[in-house]
Amino acid sequence: MHFSRRDFLKKAGATALAATTITDLLADSYAKKLWFDISLAEWSLHKELFAKKLTNLDFPELARKEFGISIVEYVNQFFKDKAEDKTYLADLLKRSKDNGVTNNLIMIDGEGGLGELDAAVRNKAVENHYKWVEAAKYLGCKTIRVNAFGKGSNEEIAKAAVEGLGKLGEFAKKTGINVIVENHGGSSSNGQWLSGVMKQVNMKNVGTLPDFGNFCITRKDGGCAESYDRYQGTKELMPFAKGVSAKTYDFDEKGNCIETDYTKILKIVKDSGFKGIAGIEYEGSKLSEYDGIKATKALLERVGPTV
């Protein structure tokens, strides 16, 4: 049978289309096996941001176009004077919408510890967060991440944190915003301590953000002097989790995280019934920030469906 050039191109095109369709279907099928969504934590790019190679306004588009991620978690340090600047926030919101990106979370630092023992200091910290609750609401975020820091014994800080988180939680509840605490050093990196605080606060919109790598309780000489078991801590924090932070530093030749067994820790997350968002937070130095983010995303997509 004779085929003209047109027939050949038509057949080749159909074959290519079929192959592409099969590839897309397989990709879609693979993606559907993930029982969590993936977001990008802005801290993964902190070196680029501090070096002024990027700005906070660039973040939504970069997340979508460079990494194929459509959910983002902001860090207030990169727009710390803009919480009440509606012009700026409107620009940020437009950029996220233009790129099909969902704003999920703002991580709040530098506004005071909600576990401070001095009531006046603690209340000032609570009030400092009000503007970020409002900014989160404006941007369409669901959550702000706060710190339950304080100076004193674990028992004293816990009592103060219950009061501080409760007060902020009541304010945030009015706007439908969640207030969550990350294991972020000190008492908060003790899973039993933080889960105990959550039980006492006992509010639906106050919860945790288990970070797979932040279980160092005390530091000394640039290293960790006292740490909490990350798997035990994650298990203790998951009943209150409104997200998880997929922290990574270094990878082996197979693409596995060296510090954390992702099969083990994701199984803990899944067994808790969690079906929310896992935020990529790369903090390594051997890979570039861009490559580290991509390696973490690949790890989540590969391991996630297997647990």
pLDDT digits (tens, 9 = 90+) for 236-290: 999 999 999 999 999 999 999 999 999 999 999 999 999 999 999 999 999 999 9
User: Residue 77: what residue type?
Assistant: Q
**Cα–Cα distance measured from residue 164 to residue 243, given in angstroms and rounded to the nearest whole number:** 21
Mean pLDDT (whole number) for 212-217: 92
**Residue 33 pLDDT class (50, 70, 90 cuts):** confident
* pLDDT at residue 28 greater than cutoff 90: no
Q: What is the pLDDT of residue 222?
A: 83
Angle at 47 between CA 266 and CA 134, to 5 degrees: 70
For 172, counting Cβ atoms within 10 Å of its Cβ (0-12 exposed, 13-18 middle, 19+ buried), the class is buried
Identify the pLDDT of residue 32: 53
pLDDT at 24 over 80: no
Q: What average pLDDT does this structure show over 146-175?
A: 97
Interatomic CA distance for residues 147 and 81, integer angstroms? 19
Find the range with the poorest average confidence among 108-122, 152-166, 217-231.
217-231
Q: Quote the percentage of the chain above a pLDDT of 70.
A: 90
pLDDT (mean) for 12-27 = 45
Q: Which of 237, 236, 304, 234 is nearest to 275 (CA)?
A: 304
pLDDT tens, position by position, 204-213: 999 999 999 9
Q: What is the pLDDT of residue 23?
A: 41
Closest CA to 38 of 248, 285, 244, 286: 244
Whole-Å CA distances, 281 to 46, 55, 292, 294: 10, 18, 9, 11
pLDDT of residue 127: 98
Name which of 154, 57, 149, 71 is nearest 110 in CA terms. 149
Model confidence pLDDT, tens digit, residues 111-134? 999 999 999 999 999 999 999 999
Average pLDDT over residues 130-144: 98
Overall average pLDDT of the 81-105 stretch: 98
- Provide the pLDDT for residue 18: 45
- Per the prediction, the chain carries an average pLDDT of 92
DSSP string, the chain: ----HHHHHHHHHHHHHHHHHHHHHHHHHHHHT-SSEEEEEGGGGHHHHHTTSS-GGGHHHHHHHHH---EEEEEGGGGTT-TT-HHHHHHHHHHHHHTT-EEEEEE--SS--TT-SSHHHHHHHHHHTHHHHHHHHHHT--EEEE----SS-HHHHHHHHHHHHHHHHHHHHTTT-EEEEE--SGGGG-HHHHHHHHHHH--TTEEEE-BTT--EEEEETTEEEEE--HHHHHHHHGGGBS-EEEEE--B-TTS-BSSS-HHHHHHHHHHTT--SEEEEEE--SSS-HHHHHHHHHHHHHHHGGG-
- With cut-offs at 50, 70 and 90, classify the pLDDT of residue 9: very low
pLDDT of 198 reads: 98
More confident residue, 306 or 28: 306
Provide, rounded to the nearest whole percent, the portion of the chain with pLDDT above 90: 86
Q: Average pLDDT for residues 176-197, to the nearest whole number?
A: 96
pLDDT at position 214 is 87
